[in-house]
Amino acid sequence: MDFSNRLQNLPDQFFAALVAKVAKAVDEGRDVINLGQGNPDQPTPPHIVTALQEAVADPKTHRYSPFRGLGTLRKAAADFYKREYGVDIDPDLEVAILSGTKIGFVELPIALLNPGDSLLLPDPGYPDYLSGAPLADIEIDLMKLEQDKGYLPNFDDVSESVRERAKLLYLNYPNNPTGATADQSFFDETVQFAKDNDIAVVHDFAYGGIGFDGQKPVSFLQSDGAKDVGIEMYTLSKTYNMAGWRIGFAVGNSKMIEALNLIQDHLFAGIFPAVQLAAAEALSASQACVDGLVGLYEKRRHVLVEECRRIGWDVEAPKGSFFAWLPVPEGFTSVGFSDYLLEKADIAVAAGSGFGSGGEGFVRVGLLVDEQRIKEALERIEKLGIFTK
């Protein structure tokens, strides 16, 4: 039996291919320093683990969850947004609970768009944004993110024809893969662009808890009128080291939230209640663990940038997320350089072209190993003689 056209049209899974390359090298007994991953290396904070353990022991959590999530978690998400960003959220109408926000990015084009409509995506951008398009039988249009513009899209560059067919726009700040951040004025501009062109906005706030140099990342929903045109996705994977727990939520425009909830009513039967209660604890309890995590990543960022510059690699320090976006040396492509580092130095990085054609010329490096291993990685690269001090 053949796969459906929709499955055959799905993009290649970039991260699966990267993991396979690294796994092969490790299986060969090589000491690979993996800077290509996006998987947090720190454990989930103990108070969240304890909350899960206590919830698991309660037989009430062994039953089906309500389809649209526990009221406890929806309220915790609303309270979190009020406390952290000053944004009012209705827990009953403006929150959708997700088994990881990746699900929401794939579901939304199916829930909101029709054949002939277009999804407007950043280039470079998170590869899994692409997956919903073939499943929804829609088109994709791209917005270039360029270094000299701070990796923010220039909406003036979006053509009239694209504005007419685009019905949904994805943004992501702090940004994966570039580590760039957006300010309030950019989000104000985004709201106006969306209203002028009847385009719904989805802001991926996956790294919302991770900003450097004392700058807290800005929420899209802090802009006036943002809830009129869009929603924000928040995952607990990064802020609380809960990647394997698969829990997140969307907040904002009630119609878009209802679309998410409706499609999930048909696709899923809820998320394990104990995980939801632990997530509520993460959002509601002291955020000291988040402050500590940001401090850890900032120290690693400092080591990475300092070591890169020491060996003659001219790089920009990321402003947020746990990624750095580094230019490849002259004479290399993104894939060529990443393969070279793995082959010659046992260092894994993610080729920028895996995030779109706009990522060519860069590699993404994660701050997800300790400072000593970062130093060791740059010492190995130094020995290759690629850079001139």
Q: How far is Cα 250 from Cα 260, in angstroms, rounded to an integer? A: 9
Domain total for the chain? 2
Tally Cβ neighbours within 10 Å of residue 342.
21
pLDDT of residue 17: 80
End-to-end CA distance of the chain, in Å?
A: 58
Q: How sure is the predictor about 377, in pLDDT bands with cuts at 50, 70 and 90?
A: very high
Domain coverage including residue 362: 5-44+288-383
Pair (93, 109) in one structural domain: yes
* DSSP for 261-310, written as a single string: HHHHHHH-----HHHHHHHHHHHHS--HHHHHHHHHHHHHHHHHHHHHHH
Structure tokens at 71: 């009221």
Inside any domain, residue 98: yes
Q: How sure is the predictor about 92, in pLDDT bands with cuts at 50, 70 and 90?
A: very high
The letter for the amino acid at 198 is D
Model confidence at 19: pLDDT above 90: no
Model confidence at 14: pLDDT above 80: no
Assign 170 to helix, strand or coil: strand
pLDDT of residue 12: 83
Query: What mean pLDDT comes out for the span 70-91?
Result: 98
pLDDT of residue 18: 83
User: Which helix (H) or strand (E) covers residue 55, if one does?
Assistant: helix 46-56
- The CATH number given to whatever domain includes residue 200 is 3.40.640.10
pLDDT of residue 139: 96
What is the pLDDT of the chain when averaged over all its residues?
A: 96
Model confidence at 65: pLDDT above 90: yes
Residue range 111-164, pLDDT digits in tens: 999 999 999 999 999 999 999 999 999 999 999 999 999 999 999 999 999 999
Query: What mean pLDDT comes out for the span 273-280?
Result: 98
Query: What mean pLDDT comes out for the span 17-34?
Result: 91
Pair (186, 220) in one structural domain: yes
Q: How far is Cα 50 from Cα 47, in angstroms, rounded to an integer? A: 5
Q: Which region among 19-23, 174-178, 271-275 has the lowest average model confidence (pLDDT)?
A: 19-23
Q: How sure is the predictor about 388, in pLDDT bands with cuts at 50, 70 and 90?
A: confident
User: Among the three residues 284, 316, 346, which one is the final residue of a domain in this structure?
Assistant: 284
pLDDT of residue 379: 98
- The CATH number given to whatever domain includes residue 33 is 3.90.1150.10
Task: Convert 16-51 to b/e letters by CB count within 10 Å (16 or more is b).
Answer: eebbeebeebeeeeeebbbbbbbebeeebbeebeeb
Strand partners, 202: 170, 231
Structure tokens at 63: 């039953």
DSSP tally for the chain: helices H, then strands E: 15, 12
Q: How far is Cα 91 from Cα 75, in angstroms, rounded to an integer? A: 5
pLDDT of residue 87: 98
Q: How sure is the predictor about 50, in pLDDT bands with cuts at 50, 70 and 90?
A: very high
In this structure, are residues 170 and 102 in contact, taking their beta carbons and an 8 Å threshold?
Answer: no
Inside any domain, residue 195: yes
Model confidence at 252: pLDDT above 90: yes
Inside any domain, residue 120: yes
Model confidence at 206: pLDDT above 90: yes
In this structure, are residues 237 and 24 in contact, taking their beta carbons and an 8 Å threshold?
Answer: no
Inside any domain, residue 160: yes
Q: Interior CA angle at 38 toward 220 and 12, to 5°?
A: 95
pLDDT of residue 29: 95
Inside any domain, residue 388: no
pLDDT of residue 126: 95
Pair (34, 50) in one structural domain: no
User: Among the three residues 253, 284, 315, which one is the final residue of a domain in this structure?
Assistant: 284
Helices 101-112 and 254-267 cross at an angle (nearest 10°) of: 100
Q: Give CA torsion, residues 28, 29, 31, 32, to 10 deg.
A: 30
Task: Determine the distance from the C-alpha atom of residue 265 to the mean position of all C-alpha atoms in its chain, rounded to a whole number.
Answer: 24
Q: Sheet of 323-327: strands edge to edge?
A: 323-327, 362-366, 350-351
Model confidence at 16: pLDDT above 90: no
Strand partners, 141: 120
Residue range 277-306, pLDDT digits in tens: 999 999 999 999 999 999 999 999 999 999
pLDDT of residue 293: 98
Pair (194, 324) in one structural domain: no
Radius of gyration (C-alpha) of the chain in whole angstroms: 21
Inside any domain, residue 349: yes
Model confidence at 184: pLDDT above 90: yes
Inside any domain, residue 316: yes
Assign 16 to helix, strand or coil: helix
pLDDT of residue 276: 98
Closest CA to 234 of 89, 45, 354, 31: 89
Model confidence at 37: pLDDT above 90: no
Pair (83, 200) in one structural domain: yes
Pair (139, 149) in one structural domain: yes
Query: 192: burial class by Cβ within 10 Å (0-12, 13-18, 19+)?
Result: middle
Q: How far is Cα 10 from Cα 133, in angstroms, rounded to an integer? A: 8
User: Which helix (H) or strand (E) covers residue 339, if one does?
Assistant: helix 334-345
pLDDT of residue 15: 78
pLDDT of residue 389: 76
The letter for the amino acid at 262 is L
